[in-house]
């Protein structure tokens, strides 16, 4: 029986699986090579892709509220996709928790690895600034909620590894849960709000679309970061600590 | 060979490598890694199709689709790894082997 407590004796490592017979390896290698050749042939003889959607995106861009075509497509023209995408992230976290892997178990006592401490002190504040800029720059250039959320999540994972994650915040507490729910909830509220106002799902008012999109993206950034850190925590081993304590 | 075709061919190679790895390695974590290599190949092919050598501007639609796909791939990977951990904890096994008792 395995418990979540890291203070008990570690369970023996599972035995490695039997390797696949070499005849099957050869067959699989040959088939994969064949598939590569077929794909390469198909790709090199493929007609140029249709640019109809690209042209429509470019034509509608002045009404999108943001100047970056990728983000205009993601958050305005196909905002529905992005809403579902956050739903997928949320579902992955719910599924992980349903497996009984909630993470956030108390960490082993001991000093964290000094390198991680120094790294965290330097990198985490910088990452927070860069993530804020990345979110903002999504309005006119590359960047956006997913980039910024991934950066913030990286900072969060580093904090967790360095054993600097605030204990009061925890990983199962109401604060993290609130952050996880914030993005999907804001997105859904705005999506239904536009419908209540007589428009279609996620059809922003044209003159204030930029502000709405920035709001959705801000909430999504926080939630993406919180969900990714929670997913990491759900599969993690206790923090990397020196064994000399 | 254009830059777009080169990237698409690298994507096709990654697809083949990932598929081979998925078949050959029985350890579930390796299978998850192999699926990620395979998926990266598909993303690379999709991104390569966004490149338009004449128009100069790249097509934002495939880029947006790949961005969506990356996020879905990351969350699916995390869920798969949690499943693998749970399987190892409950059964002590690391592969989906058919040992005749199941």
Residues 39-68 of B with CB under 8 A from A: 45, 49, 52, 55, 57, 59-64, 67-68
For residue range B72-85, what is the model confidence (pLDDT) as tens digits? 899 999 999 988 88
pLDDT in tens, B10-68: 999 999 999 999 999 989 999 999 999 999 999 999 988 877 666 666 778 888 889 88
Token pair of B86 as six digits: 């749970």
Average the pLDDT over each of A26-35, A62-71, A137-146, B91-100 and give the range with the smallest value: B91-100
Q: Nearest Cα to A73, choosing from A60, A86, A85?
A: A60
**Are residues A223 and A86 in contact, defined by beta-carbon separation less than 8 angstroms?**
yes
Kindly give the residue spans of alpha helices, DSSP state H, lying in chain A: 22-44, 52-60, 69-72, 79-98, 114-137, 145-161, 174-196, 209-235
Restricting to A residues 203-242, those with a Cβ less than 8 Å away from any Cβ of B are: 224, 227-228, 231-232, 234-235
Q: What does each C-alpha distance from A147 to A63, A115, A155, A177, B10 come to in angstroms?
A: 24, 26, 13, 21, 24
ipTM of the complex: 0.84
At B101 the pLDDT is: 52
Q: How far is A217 from chain B (nearest CA, A)?
A: 14
What is the spatial distance between Cα A185 and Cα B87, in angstroms, rounded to a whole number? 33
Using the predicted structure, report yes or no on whether residue A100 has a pLDDT greater than 70: yes
**Helix A114-137 vs helix A209-235: angle between axes, to the nearest 10 degrees?**
160
Please give the structure tokens belonging to residue B40.
Answer: 């990266």
CB–CB contact A43 B45 (8 Å): yes
Exposed/middle/buried for A119, CB within 10 Å: 0-12, 13-18, 19+? middle
Q: Quick check: B9 and A43 CB within 8 A?
A: yes
């Amino acid at each position: 029986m395995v418990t979540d407590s890291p203070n008990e004796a570690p369970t023996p490592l599972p035995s490695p699986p039997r390797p696949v017979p070499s005849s099957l390896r050869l067959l699989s290698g040959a088939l994969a090579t064949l598939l590569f050749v077929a794909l390469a042939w198909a790709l090199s003889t493929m007609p140029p892709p249709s640019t109809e959607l690209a042209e429509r995106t470019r034509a509608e861009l002045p009404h999108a509220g943001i100047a970056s075509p990728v983000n205009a497509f993601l958050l305005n023209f196909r905002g529905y996709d992005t809403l579902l995408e956050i739903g997928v992230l949320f579902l992955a976290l719910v599924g992980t928790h349903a497996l009984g892997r909630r993470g956030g178990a108390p960490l082993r006592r001991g000093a964290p690895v000094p390198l991680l401490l120094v790294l965290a002190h330097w990198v985490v504040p910088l990452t927070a600034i860069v993530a804020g800029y990345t979110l903002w720059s999504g309005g006119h250039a590359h960047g956006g909620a997913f980039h910024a959320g991934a950066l913030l999540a990286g900072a969060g994972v580093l904090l967790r590894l360095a054993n600097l994650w605030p204990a009061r915040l925890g990983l199962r507490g109401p604060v993290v849960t609130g952050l996880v729910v914030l993005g999907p909830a804001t997105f859904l509220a705005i999506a239904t709000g536009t419908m209540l106002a007589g428009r279609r799902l996620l059809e922003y008012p044209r003159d204030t679309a930029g502000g709405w999109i920035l709001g959705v993206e801000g909430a999504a950034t926080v939630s993406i970061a919180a969900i990714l850190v929670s997913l990491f925590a759900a599969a993690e081993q206790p923090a990397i600590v020196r064994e000399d304590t | 060979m254009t830059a777009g075709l080169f990237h698409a061919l690298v994507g096709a190679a990654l697809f083949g490598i990932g598929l081979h790895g998925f078949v050959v390695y029985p350890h579930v974590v390796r299978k998850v890694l192999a699926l990620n290599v395979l998926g990266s190949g598909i993303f690379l092919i999709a991104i390569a199709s966004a490149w338009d050598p004449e128009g100069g501007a790249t097509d934002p639609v495939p880029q947006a689709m790949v961005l969506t796909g990356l996020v879905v791939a990351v969350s699916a990977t995390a869920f798969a790894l949690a499943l693998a951990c749970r399987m190892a904890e409950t059964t002590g096994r690391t592969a989906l082997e058919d040992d005749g008792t199941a």
